[in-house]
Structure 1
């Protein structure tokens, strides 16, 4: 990634080779680690940092779930960004920070203790900021300032929670799990440290009311939106929720201390509020942004129900939401780049002009609603089973209401695209790219990610599906 920064704008082919080569190499390494960890191998590296403390990178099943998503979607987002930014200025700067952002995400996934997690968590905030303000407009600078206020503020809360917790309970190593000192935490200390850390990671996870940065950040280019929503930032926050509950406190301790009901309520409010807010958005990317606020909270809800089935539903949504949401943002980016479509009312008849893009978009939208056999249905099915297992029947009502709201704000888009006549003047058509509806670098990624969202749903019962890996993670966690 450091090789990209000094490249001049004229070195387009070299920059493309470096980007794609790094993405393919990372994906190959992750596949190799998947095989080793499935066989029970232990992979770890440590670097001395502070007195008596180390930066630890450790490969476990949960880390690989997140790392696999970021590696696969990094490849598709890189291809997409190459096409989307063709002819744009400052591409070396963009791809340099883009690669640094993905490297920080890998560090978060592989972090072996709280200190390492915090280090890469803050690096992610700093690496993403130049991407948010990439266009250099006044609006993008305002969005970048809001992004920094939220994320650095969240980082401060996370650090305060870590320092307070480790002063009382000792260093938190994810492999060792919660130590005996966690059981002895006073109620005030347990609640205080827990909610400080949850608030810290909840900023990036866009939990209400810490979500305000996310809709503002939609001013960034479409590849950045895809990165924020599906690959890196919001997933880093949701992944942090999983680590705090299961690896810092332990789900049994968190439940016994009464910490999880509040998290379940926050997640449920976020799910419903995000969907209601999406209904009011006429700008396509902002509607998708509020959809992300709602959808990512499913992960926190699955963790908060404190049961193996719910955990499977929550953590598999790391993969499922990533595939569906990146497809939607790729589709929205294609509409904006090719036809100048930015608002819902401009989508009339666009399915006839861009059938492959809209077919992919349709798969992503129906998956978000929870239509079988797509990925979103599998998530909601397991969350529903987990709610019954945990005796939390009210969660079923939250899931049902969420699906209904998803349908209300997604189905009109599909109706407009497929069944209405185009309105003259709504499009600024850039013309076709040969026989294709747009450049192949823009068309290939959403088609493949849409097929992925379909495939992981249809093949959910196979031994190599994300669901099978999430079940492996949950089994290992609850066996401890």
Structure 2
């Protein structure tokens, strides 16, 4: 099967699932079987493209001209291949988890939940395989609109307020900042098509380059660089599988993926180094990493602590891109995958605790690890990865980012990573200690009764992602090879 056909199938399979799922709204087992089948087929198709990329090919398709010079087209480069593999793989696991969570909590509107999830995955594939800035913008907006119903899924006042914040910030930044940046880039470069060396002509004034980069960084609101981050904690009113989608599978990863792609394929690393206009980006990302970690320290609500952790961890990718060293950019690409598998484990565990014990606060988790050893064991692995402790994937990405920072003598970045590692330990390790070492609150147990683990699909899913966090450290070869080929290492 040709590369162009595989790209179209990657877009079409989740879209077709979104059309089929409503037909079986009265048959939940069939409805969820459709979801799982589509997720499985998507993985097969996406991973079938990997050998083509390793062989040096650039699969492409499309070419639908919307207006002169504005084309919807797709191609596969190494960074997009990484993003597509991460999103498609985690869709299967998240679908298994969702079955246990949605049924275990008797959530309403489950059919619309699975439909919107499938549309979100189709748009994610569109982002991953975009050949130009217009195409990535188009699918970026579809992703925002398709995830809004998931954020407001519960339908209460808190969900509606959170949804308004989510939609207004993400649409506002993209329409007021990102779209003008894209139009301006097209006017300067005469093209919107991505190219590894960048597309901007050398005659563009340095000051203009800096302003354009600023528009892109803040226009890509899904990257959650402060102060464009409030949408992420606000969206925590959504069910946990949605939180996992936002933090691991699609939304925030689409943000940092797009930032990295713009740095490498629109500006070009050498161009930004010579222009010397990316220094502010390192300061901004470093501030976000530390400030979000300090806010996370003060959160008793588990999902909010995880949300601010995500804000911090996302800016590791932005920081790595701002260092402008080949190894740091490898670290940025690896961190997209490492953070995805680690953070989805943490959110799965949070949802498991809520489903089985109805616990939402860290202060309520005394001794819960003895009742839920699989859940909290997986949480511990995810937490260690966020800190960057081997043998977890988080260590791998931090190693590359630090190596790049040392090679570029970016001492600010080194200091940020060291300090944030200590802060990560400060807000994650107490949760693990509380869960396993402290005695249960007898009053709480008496009120909520005895409980064990959450439903089996939830436990299977979080165990799989925890295992994946370790396997990614033990067998990083393909991931690192793709990341290195993105910046031309070894070529």
| TM-score, scaled relative to structure 1 | 0.95
The Cα shift of 1:176 comes to 6.7
Secondary structure of the residue that 2:442 maps to in structure 1?
Answer: coil
Q: How does 1:201-216 map to 2 (within 5 A)?
A: 201=220, 203-216=221-234
Please, which of 12, 35, 41 is the counterpart of residue 19 of structure 1? 35
Contact 1:302 1:315 in 2 (8 A): no
Please, which of 76, 85, 88 is the counterpart of residue 107 of structure 2? 88
- For residues 17-39 of structure 1, what are the alpha-carbon distances to aligned partners after superposition, in whole Å with 9 as ceiling and x for unaligned? 11001100000011110112111
Contact 1:338 1:431 in 2 (8 A): no
Secondary structure of the residue that 2:429 maps to in structure 1?
Answer: helix
Equivalents in 2 of 1:393, 1:194: separation in Å? 22
Equivalents in 2 of 1:223, 1:475: separation in Å? 37
Equivalents in 2 of 1:266, 1:414: separation in Å? 31
- For residues 453-475 of structure 1, what are the alpha-carbon distances to aligned partners after superposition, in whole Å with 9 as ceiling and x for unaligned? 11111333xx33x2333223232
The Cα shift of 1:429 comes to 5.1
Please, which of 210, 213, 216 is the counterpart of residue 191 of structure 1? 210
Contact 1:4 1:95 in 2 (8 A): no
The Cα shift of 1:259 comes to 2.3
- Do the aligned partners of residues 431 and 120 (structure 1) sit closer, same or farther apart at CA in structure 2, a change above 3 Å counting? farther
Equivalents in 2 of 1:145, 1:88: separation in Å? 21
Equivalents in 2 of 1:256, 1:332: separation in Å? 45
The Cα shift of 1:430 comes to 7.7
Question: Gaps spanning 5+ residues in structure 1: where?
Answer: none
The Cα shift of 1:172 comes to 2.2
Please, which of 70, 73, 83 is the counterpart of residue 66 of structure 1? 83
Q: Does 1:161 align with 2:177?
A: no
Equivalents in 2 of 1:276, 1:332: separation in Å? 20
Worse-superposed segment, 68-77 or 164-173: 164-173
Q: Does 1:295 align with 2:313?
A: yes
Q: How does 1:414-429 map to 2 (within 5 A)?
A: 414-426=432-444
Please, which of 349, 356, 363 is the counterpart of residue 338 of structure 1? 356
Equivalents in 2 of 1:12, 1:353: separation in Å? 30
Q: Does 1:451 align with 2:463?
A: no
Residues matched between the structures, number: 470
Please, which of 30, 45, 52 is the counterpart of residue 69 of structure 2? 52
The Cα shift of 1:438 comes to 2.2
- For residues 110-134 of structure 1, what are the alpha-carbon distances to aligned partners after superposition, in whole Å with 9 as ceiling and x for unaligned? 0000000100011111011000000
Report the equivalent of 1:319.
Answer: 337
Secondary structure of the residue that 1:184 maps to in structure 2?
Answer: coil
- Do the aligned partners of residues 315 and 284 (structure 1) sit closer, same or farther apart at CA in structure 2, a change above 3 Å counting? same
Contact 1:169 1:185 in 2 (8 A): no
Contact 2:195 2:266 in 1 (8 A): no
The Cα shift of 1:223 comes to 0.2
Q: Does 1:103 align with 2:116?
A: no
CA RMSD of aligned residues (A): 1.6
The Cα shift of 1:229 comes to 0.4
| TM-score, scaled relative to structure 2 | 0.93
Secondary structure of the residue that 1:373 maps to in structure 2?
Answer: coil
Report the equivalent of 1:440.
Answer: 456
Q: How does 1:62-461 map to 2 (within 5 A)?
A: 62-86=79-103, 87-156=106-175, 157-175=177-195, 177-179=197-199, 181-201=200-220, 203-426=221-444, 437-460=453-476
- For residues 36-55 of structure 1, what are the alpha-carbon distances to aligned partners after superposition, in whole Å with 9 as ceiling and x for unaligned? 21112221111222233210
Equivalents in 2 of 1:330, 1:153: separation in Å? 30
Question: Gaps spanning 5+ residues in structure 2: where?
Answer: 1-16
